A = this chain, B = another copy of it.
Amino acid sequence: MEVNKLINSINDAVSEVFDGSTIMIGGFGEAGSPVELIHALIDNGSRNLTIIANNAGNGRIGLGALIGQRQVNKVICSFARSHKSITFKEQYEKNEIELEVVPQGTLAERIRSAGAGIPGFYTATAVGTPLANGKESKMFDGKEYILEKALSADFAFVKAENADRYGNLSFNKTARNFNPIMCMAAKQTIVQVKNFIDVKETDPEKVITPGIFVDKIVEVKNPLIETHAIENGEVYP
């Protein structure tokens, strides 16, 4: 029997998501955003979700659509303000969705910490700003730092370029971004991949995310390009 994490149906891949799940969604802007997995989650219909991502979605596809479907209660992100971010803005202005703003590097490190078994770490980022309010602080060598806590999730949705049956991943250019660290930080990591490759093609020196951090893989050969989809006014579902 061989390890093989490939799932044939994208709907099966997200079938374990439940109401009230916390879900990390990879990507920075459209680069590395697992749009098709999010669409499968819209089909799945789970509600009261907490989303951890860098942004709060653009247009009415992907995360923008998920929010538009009112499946999301709360977004934890660094940058929810964009002229293309329609659905989040609509709900935020009516107090219908909660927002936790986290500095981008702190967000990344909190996610990596969860994956690395570190419950908390100190950082100078945000010291003296409103985002330090309510946080413990501590001096190291005469300088003030605040305590930031690990951020984990029930699921991570990730987009990769190549994956083998073990879940060894590589990414395309700046589509790497949050994806590798989110793979580490969730109880179940689900990956949409452009190319499912034979394990013999995996170079052990070039694996970015080792399979130990991956649970399910689904192949999406021609993922939607967000810029084009928004220009064309595409909407999901």
A interface with B by C-beta (< 8 Å): 109, 113, 116-124, 138, 140-141, 143, 145, 149, 170-171, 173, 204-206
Contact indicator B113/A123 (Cβ below 8 Å): no
Interface of A is mostly: mixed
**Cβ contact of A138, chosen from B113, B120, B206, cutoff 8 A:** B120
Q: A205-B170, A205-B206 are in contact. Are A145 and B119 (CB under 8 A)?
A: yes
Additional A-B contacts beyond A113-B121, A117-B123, A117-B124 (5; CB < 8 A): A118-B123, A119-B141, A120-B140, A121-B122, A205-B206
Q: Are B124 and A122 in contact (CB under 8 A)?
A: no
Interchain CA distance A149-B141 in the complex, whole Å: 11
Question: Which residues of B have CB within 8 Å of A121?
Answer: 113, 118, 120-122
* CA of A71 to CA of B232, assembled, Å: 69
Closest to A143 in B: B119
Q: In the complex, A149→B122 CA distance in Å?
A: 10
Q: Which residue of chain B lies nearest to A121 when distances are taken between CB atoms in the complex?
A: B121
User: Known contacts A205-B206, A206-B205: does B116 contact A109 (CB below 8 Å)?
Assistant: yes
The answer for the CA separation of A221 and B122 in the assembled complex, in Å, is 41
- Point out the residue from B116, B119, B173 that lies within 8 Å of A140, measured CB to CB: B119
**Residues of B contacting A113 in the complex (Cβ-Cβ under 8 angstroms):** 121
Report B-chain residues with C-beta under 8 Å of the C-beta of A123.
Answer: 117-118
